[in-house]
Structure 1
Amino acid sequence: MKTFKTRGALTALLATVAVSGGLAAGAVHASAAPLKPTAPKAAVLPVVNMEATVLAAQIDPRRADNTLTPGAKDSVLAVEKVLQSKGLLASQWVDGYFGTTTISAYAAFQRSLGYTGLDANGLPGKTSLTTLGQGQFTVTNVITAGAKVQRDGYTVDSRTQAMLTRTEALLGFTLKLDQGSYNPGGDPTSAGTHDGGGVVDINVDGMSADTRTSVAKALRQVGFAAWVRNPSQGDWPWHIHAVAISDTDLSSEAQHQVGDYYLGMNGLANRAPDDGPRIPIQTWEDYQRTH
């Protein structure tokens, strides 16, 4: 039988055994300790794409049926559900279609915030949409008209100004306005289209027919609904009428023109076929993403 040579060696061995035993016991106790409960995950809010929502609010009210605006259904549904929860929209209209009933409900919400006139026309703006979504949905792809600026003696918003500047770059020459925006009642022949933002008339004096068409096409490329207007259509001289698609300050009448443009019409009261250069329709935001 093997014996230890010294009392010191025996003492060291006993100490090692004691420490090992303590660690093992501690490990057992640690593994048996109860787990702390984890906090529940916060609910993920729906996402409202403002670009898609505003586009639907312009097009859907002008449709002859209930066809949904592509890419807008989920965003519109999220908005409609909150409007319903506030008692502003009946459940039957929570369908992803931003038609006249939803426009009226959204306008009622805007009025509840103290908005009046142009600010309560049912077209979602950044502030009202963000306020509606508090705790209910998040807003992405935000659109803003920007500050009011002067151009050729007329008032336009900075988004419209940027679009016109880009159009001039495409054409290689400067455009001159015959009429600007935010001009309530300023021209009875305009039927209210210039009452809000995003709408201008372009002077075409000295332009050939081909040049007028080229200007209208360039305006459409950057996100305007644009048409060459002639005296046979109304009480006005030759000019180009341009509406900045999805400008959040558009008057109701201008919104209708945008909707008709998307549906292949001329933007006039007769809703005749579009007589302008046909190109793929896009907004200013679409244009900026690709150029």
Structure 2
Amino acid sequence: MLKKVTALTALALFSLGVAAPANATQNATLAALPVANMEAVLKAAQIDPRRPDSALTPGAKDSVLLVEQALAAKSLLATQYVDGHFGTTTITAYATYQRSLGYTGIDASGLPGPSSLQQLGTSRYTVGNVVSAGAKVNYRGGLMNARTKAMLVAAEGLLGSSLSITQGSYNPGGVDASAGTHDGGGALDISVSGMSAATRTTVTRNLRLVGFAAWIRTPAQGFAYHIHAIALSDPDQSSGAQHQAGDYYLGQNGLAGRGADDGPAVSPKRTWEEYQRS
């Protein structure tokens, strides 16, 4: 018998009552399951809790429904909230599921990570377009994950110059004014020392182009001048960073008052993965 049997062949053999190799049967089962797009789920989990209504994130409904149906099957989400909108109730339900797996802190924020998303989907769905934060590394004077470093390197490539980090990621209890956004991954504060106003804007625009929600913070806002950047769809985001990412998508400035976005416009707003495919 051939060493490799496709999922289609396995299904055909099964219908004839002929036993197929275990791995082929497993592949056939997986092939029959729907796919939850992790990129779409993460985008909805950032944006939907910040919406003033229950509108859906474009392109995310089918994948979010798979996640919500799985949460409902575990009695963690009432069926009335199985609607494709990854709002605060779904965030709470997902956080409860994460805690049931033994996760704590940032790992139980309600933002889906690859491991919990795959475990939740067992026998219900498979996960596609997986987003991984990667290992923690030090770069340009700050701690960050490998995905954030790759994004920063790409932005520096567009700029043709290097940047300096004044506050990195995974810094619980860090700068008070940061309000917890740096507790998890994907959060950077970037020095603007010696930059002109035009250069600060150029840096911010290039950060946005590669997938950061980025803003110039100013003394008028209560900060020393710096650029604050959140890596969109980083699965290690703190709740504060998650909210800022959602606000960025919704045209806001990421501050507590949720004012209008005061940064350079880029269109479309893309994640790192979307930038790489563009």
TM-score, normalised to structure 1's length? Answer: 0.85
Q: For each residue in 1:169-208, what CA deviation from the matched residue of structure 2 results, as whole angstroms up to 9, or x when unmatched?
A: 0001110011100000111110000010000011001100
Q: How does 1:213-252 map to 2 (within 5 A)?
A: 213-234=201-222, 236-252=223-239
Counterparts of 1:103-142 in structure 2, within 5 Å, are 103-142=91-130
Q: Could you tell me which residue of structure 2 aligns to residue 198 of structure 1?
A: 186
Does the alignment pair 1:38 with 2:16?
A: yes
**C-alpha deviation, 1:271, in angstroms:** 0.4
Matched positions, count: 254
Q: Distance in 1 between matches of 2:145 and 2:61?
A: 29
| CA shift for structure 1 position 259 | 0.4
- Percent identity reads 63
State the alpha-carbon separation in 2 of the partners of residues 152 and 215 from structure 1. 15
2:21 corresponding residue in structure 1: none
In the alignment, does 2:122 pair up with 1:144? no
* Aligned counterparts, 1:247-262, within 5 A: 247-262=234-249
Residue equivalent to 1:96? 84
Q: Partner of 1:28 in structure 2?
A: none
Whose radius of gyration is greater, 1 or 2? 1
Partner of 1:159: 147
Question: In the alignment, which residue of structure 2 is the partner of 1:24?
Answer: none
Q: Distance in 2 between matches of 1:278 and 1:247?
A: 21
Corresponding residue number in structure 1 for 2:52: 64
SS of 1:139 mapped into structure 2: strand
Task: Look up the match of 1:188.
Answer: 176
* 1:36-71 alpha-carbon deviations (Å, 9 max, x no partner): 963598582121000000110000000001110000
Aligned to 1:270: 257
Measured in 1, the distance between the counterparts of 2:15 and 2:70 equals 33
- 3-state secondary structure, aligned to 2:122: coil
The one-letter code sitting in structure 2 at the alignment partner of 1:171 is L
Q: How does 1:273-284 map to 2 (within 5 A)?
A: 273-280=260-267, 281-284=269-272
Q: Quick one: distance in 2 between partners of 1:67 and 1:87?
A: 24
SS of residue paired to 2:220: coil
- Find the aligned partners of 1:37 and 1:285 in 2 and give their Cα distance: 40
Match of 1:3 in 2: none
Q: CA deviation at 1:153?
A: 3.3
Rounded to whole Å, the distance in 2 between the matches of 1:257 and 1:186 is: 17
Q: Which moves more between the two structures, 40-49 or 169-178?
A: 40-49
Q: Distance in 1 between matches of 2:253 and 2:162?
A: 25
Q: Which runs of no fewer than 5 residues in structure 1 stay unpaired?
A: 1-35
Q: Does the C-alpha gap of structure 1 residues 217 and 124 become closer, same or farther in structure 2, counting only changes over 3 Å? A: same
* TM-score normalised by length of structure 2: 0.89
Code of the residue aligned with 1:96 in structure 2: it is G
Moved more, 148-157 or 240-249: 148-157
| AA at the equivalent of 1:114 | G
Instruction: Please state how far the C-alpha of 1:151 moved relative to its aligned partner.
Output: 1.7
Paired residue secondary structure (2:43): helix
Give 3-state SS (helix, strand or coil) of 2:219's partner: coil
Q: Secondary structure at the match of 1:53?
A: helix
Output the CA distance in 2 between the equivalents of 1:170 and 1:212.
14
**Aligned equivalents of 1:275, 1:153: Cα separation in 2:** 27
Deviations 1:101-151 (A, max 9, x none): 000000000000000000000000000001111111010000000000012
**Residue type matched to 1:271 in 2?**
R
State which of 168, 181, 184 in structure 1 corresponds to 2:156: 168
Gaps of at least 5 residues in structure 2 are 1-13, 19-27
CA distance, structure 1, for counterparts of residue 227 and residue 58 of structure 2: 29
